[in-house]
């Protein structure tokens, strides 16, 4: 007998919500990895394939995140089972 862990991904895929679930998991993991200060100044705009698109309140924040991108992507990927995030793209909200 299959457990919920095996059934749920198939059901979500059939309902067409697996992409939204993946994005929600990525957003939550990204916010956690950002820490208290940066969390208020950044937001995940989209998950496009293996690219994480992030809007930043200031170019300096985008620069800092770019320098920390390996650590940030590792934190996000720990929460995903498949298709890891491999790059970050930044947008300015300023």
The CATH number of residue 61's host domain is: 3.30.300.20
**Total tally of structural domains belonging to the chain:** 1
Token pair 């930044």 in the structure block, residue: 90
Q: Do 44 and 26 form a contact (C-beta atoms < 8 A)? A: yes
Q: Is the pTM of this model over 0.85?
A: no
C-alpha to C-alpha distance for 56 and 44, rounded to whole angstroms = 9
Per the DSSP assignment, residues forming a β-bridge with 92 are 56
Buried b or exposed e, range 9-44, using 16+ CB within 10 angstroms: eeeeeeeeebeeebeeebbebbeebbeeebeebbbb
Domain that holds residue 47: 4-92
| pLDDT above 80 (res 89) | yes
Q: For residue range 18-56, what is the model confidence (pLDDT) as tens digits?
A: 777 788 889 999 999 998 888 999 999 998 989 999 999
Q: Provide the pLDDT for residue 14.
A: 77
Strand 87-92 relative to strand 51-56, pairing: parallel
Through-space distance between the first and last CA atoms of the chain, rounded to whole angstroms: 53
User: Could you tell me what percent of the chain has a pLDDT over 90?
Assistant: 52
User: Could you tell me what percent of the chain has a pLDDT over 70?
Assistant: 97
């Amino acid at each position: 007998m299959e457990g919920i862990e095996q059934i749920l991904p198939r059901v979500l895929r059939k309902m067409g919500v697996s992409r939204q679930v993946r994005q929600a998991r990525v957003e939550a993991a990204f916010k956690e990895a950002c820490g208290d200060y940066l969390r208020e100044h950044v937001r995940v705009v989209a998950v496009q394939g293996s690219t994480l698109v992030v809007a930043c309140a200031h170019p300096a924040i985008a620069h800092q995140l770019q320098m920390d991108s390996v650590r940030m992507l590792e934190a996000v990927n720990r929460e995903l089972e498949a298709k890891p995030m491999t790059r970050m793209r930044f947008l300015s909200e300023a």
